[in-house]
Structure 1
């Protein structure tokens, strides 16, 4: 099975410049190939495959813009494949038309593929080897065994960098138990179990609300696109990140406790037509 392991990385100044350049090149290639594909379809009614878009990047864009050759080639190829996936969903699944990526409003990330040992993890030295970056210091809090398939490097709005390593590994199931439990999901409490246990709903947002209001008020008085404006936005992003992490931590601990103790889990929810649907999940 394929499983992803996400770690925080701490690139130095030179590596940060390479990352920013790669983010920008991927965004540029995504927009250029999308515009080229759109133009071909509108003028000639000609549909292009992702291979055609990739050839356009390699034969024309890289010749016209030499700086595209400075970044990881797999990152550019995957950016084109992501554009192609969004484009095909527009026609087949009636999703929204792919939008051009913006420097300020899009998520910064790129994906690179494993080949000839260009991606490796050293748990003892606490470093990850990535193409064009070499060794990057990382917080390797979880170990894994298996074949690395790809790695996705991303930067969150707070400015932190992360890498998600996709690994083909063996899934070890939980030991079987005799426990069976029913869950009733609610608002006041996250859930109430059939044996009477109540799991509270932590009010993370309400605890941070006063700080959020203060930061958002400060942002309102900043001049847009100024250094202080982006500094205030980063502080707000850090506050929201703390809320999200607290919620995820609580939900992960709760779900792990429930599935570790029970073999069968039944969830009861009231549906729109006043009917009750029982969903059972076997671990």
Structure 2
């Protein structure tokens, strides 16, 4: 025990025989009532507000997810040679990066590990690499310049990749492009087609495998012509391949007769 040196007769208690003053007051958050509306305790006041905002945002996001169907593409078909795979938009710049000679082939590790590692590693380590006190972008030319160049490279590579993909789709034959989709796929005749031997030669999507493509067949054959081919065969297709009733046979022939090319459908409309 000792007396302080501020001129007041106040006892000071030390911890054991050390010179560390003992503090008996409790560590409690400060009373911010004298600063109304300007500040508040981080826990639990501020944290509770942030948590409530996060809950509202999450509930709204989940409501949108459940209200809209996911934009799924067509069912995967390994026999569809006309399908052009493309990653999601946020990976398009990496997809385009792998097309450069210095980032593909024997140097593929540069495009798959080195460049992405530098990009995401630099972003992760930014708080430790750039420890300057200045926060204005104009006062941080190195960090700002690297960030702008990275952003510009991502935007340009994404645009180039998407533009190239659109050109590839446009250059495809009509029979293999997205424009030549099956007409009336919800028709029960499509299930009859898939459940018969027709699908083995003409493909799941009428694209043609061992036999010719049936896309646009309605432009060349009528229902009666198709019925005759089913009954009598044609070329390498023997007669009697269809296994079903006469009603199903006619239903299939009428459905195939409606498989006109996209150009014909547009002109009829």
TM range, normalised to the smaller chain? under 0.3
Of Structure 1 and Structure 2, the greater helix share is in 2
TM-score, normalization: structure 1? 0.23
Q: Larger Rg: 1 or 2?
A: 2
Of Structure 1 and Structure 2, the greater strand share is in 1
Structure with greater contact order relative to length (CA < 8 Å, sep ≥ 6): 1
